[in-house]
Amino acid sequence: MERVIIFDTTLRDGEQAPGATLNLDEKLEIARQLEKLGVDVIEAGFPIASSGDFEAVCLIAKEVRKPIICALAHANAEAVDRAWEAIKEAKRARIHVFLSSSDIHLTYQLKMGQAEILELACEMVARAKKCLEDVEFSPMDATRTTPQFIYQIIEAVIEAGATTVNIPDTVGYTTPEEFSRLIRGIFEHVPNIHKAVVSVHCHDDLGLAVANSLTALACGARQVECTINGIGERAGNASLEEIVMALRTRKDSFDLTTSIDTAQIYKTSRLVSELTGFSIPPNKAIVGANAFRHEAGIHQDGIIKEPITYEIMDARSIGLPSSALVLGKHSGRHALKARLEELGYTLSEEDLDRAFSAFKALADKKKEVTDRDLESLVAEEMRTISEAYHLEQVQVSCGDRSVPTAAVRLITSDGEVLADAALGTGPVDAVYRAINRLVGVPNVLTEFSVKAITEGIDAIGEVTIRIESEGRVYTGRGAATDIIVASAKAYMNALNRLLAVKGKE
């Protein structure tokens, strides 16, 4: 079988999803997990966009050695040079140059003609080629560009040195039948297409990103650009896990393979969800909570008799554990370590000690600790945000005939203890008002959501919030059996993210 190159852009296009703010350590953690997953290319960022993006790409290029590390650059000399500066220490490096090609973009955004676009594209590809061998080019908004101009620009950039040509459905506009005609047309009308790999990058505005990507692969494309959980601009990108498992499950249809270790999919999905603050819908294909659950009686009967009756994939193939080990307050450290390893977490002795302490505290409140509880616990304990303020204590008084009152105690990074109290319209509002009096950073709460991690009255509650300050959105998550405490943790997580960004400016 022919192999498909998996190009992961979670750290670049994925992070562009509104509210998906990642710090330096979080980006490196995701990059290392993508390496374990087996992706071929990691698009680590857009170095010219900010000093933080540049620093992240530099760090990933130095630390992550197996995949190709790619840096994005628009067709600008300074951007190309900055991209090279960021990835020059990578073991295997790539520069990805992009430039709009559709009449819509040329007329309303760039104010340029096709001849100017053609010249600039070739000039910037040639500039990148002087730095390294591996150069990719994307004609942005390709699916709303006349096919003849796509053929022309692709032929020209290959001649200028591009080794990969990517066809992006930038606004998620195309359909499988239309996209197949474009991809087939490229192979038929670009005389030097054999000198480059054809790639596709599909957005999900019409819910067709995965379908369009698979169609392109069936037509001869051999690189697919995607993200974990499908996160990205607007409605997101093609989902890596859906594409990979479609190719694996339907080998009879595609006869294509990938280098992905599918047993790492579930862990990677959870990690990206935790760090970006984007919850995974329960009905999400492959990694959703309901993807391998059955409630209908006829389905349950079939699964008991033979799983293949209603499951086209083995849950273990994506890294979901199969054992039924139950943990509780009498479970020991070794049992916890074994279960975490089954779930894909390998912790240092120090981190395991912290996780075990948190587990014991949780087990005192719950009869049984589930896998989802453990995942939430590890995510809570292993957060990589540096804390300017640590939430030490929350105390709330409320009721239908009393004024909600909250007292909080914070500890600064210097060890100073701060305490204050406030009234609010409800207990969470009172807590947030008290925290604001101590931290004093203006912000607006734009989103607040709460969900139970597992079933039952003793379930862990997980709170996700988004706050906005000076035009930027920051995500925070917190989990606890007490939903007010979880809300306070989420707010402090978001505030610490905000303060970390401000500290770098």
Q: Can you give the pLDDT at residue 338? A: 80
Quick one: the chain helix, strand, coil %, rounded to 5? 45, 20, 35
Q: Which of 490, 501, 436 is nearest to 463 (CA)?
A: 490
Domain residue limits, the chain: 2-276, 290-319, 321-381, 389-504
Q: What is the CATH number of domain 389-504?
A: 3.30.160.270
Question: Contact, 411 vs 390, CB < 8 A?
Answer: yes
Q: Can you give the pLDDT at residue 2? A: 95
Q: Can you give the pLDDT at residue 182? A: 98
The values of phi and psi at residue 389, to 5°, are: -135, 135
Q: Can you give the pLDDT at residue 324? A: 45
Cα–Cα distance for residue pair 66/192, rounded to 1 Å: 29
Confirm or reject CATH 3.40.50.1100 for domain 2-276, answering yes or no. no
Q: Can you give the pLDDT at residue 295? A: 60
pLDDT digit string (tens) for the chain, length 505 residues? 899 999 999 999 999 988 787 889 899 999 999 999 999 999 999 999 999 999 999 999 999 999 999 999 999 999 999 999 999 999 999 999 999 999 999 999 999 999 999 999 999 999 999 999 999 999 999 999 999 999 999 999 999 999 999 999 999 999 999 999 999 999 999 999 999 999 999 999 999 999 999 999 999 999 999 999 999 999 999 999 999 999 999 999 999 999 999 999 999 999 999 888 888 998 999 999 888 876 666 776 776 687 788 788 988 899 886 544 557 777 788 888 887 877 777 788 888 888 888 888 888 877 678 777 787 777 766 654 568 999 999 999 999 889 999 999 999 999 999 999 999 999 999 999 999 999 999 999 999 999 887 777 778 888 989 999 988 888 888 888 899 999 999 999 999 988 987 776 6
- Number of separate helices (H) and strands (E) present in the chain: 17, 16
Q: Can you give the pLDDT at residue 300? A: 64
Cα–Cα distance for residue pair 413/400, rounded to 1 Å: 37
Q: Which of 181, 186, 202 is nearest to 152 (CA)?
A: 186
- Measured in residues, the chain has a length of 505
Token pair for 411: 């500890």
Domains 2-276 and 389-504 share a fold: no
In the sheet with 417-423, reading across from the earlier edge strand, the strands are 389-397, 405-412, 417-423
Q: Which of 469, 475, 500, 473 is nearest to 490 (CA)?
A: 475
Buried b (16+ CB within 10 A) or exposed e, 448-475: eeeeebbeeeebbbbbbbbbbbeeebbb
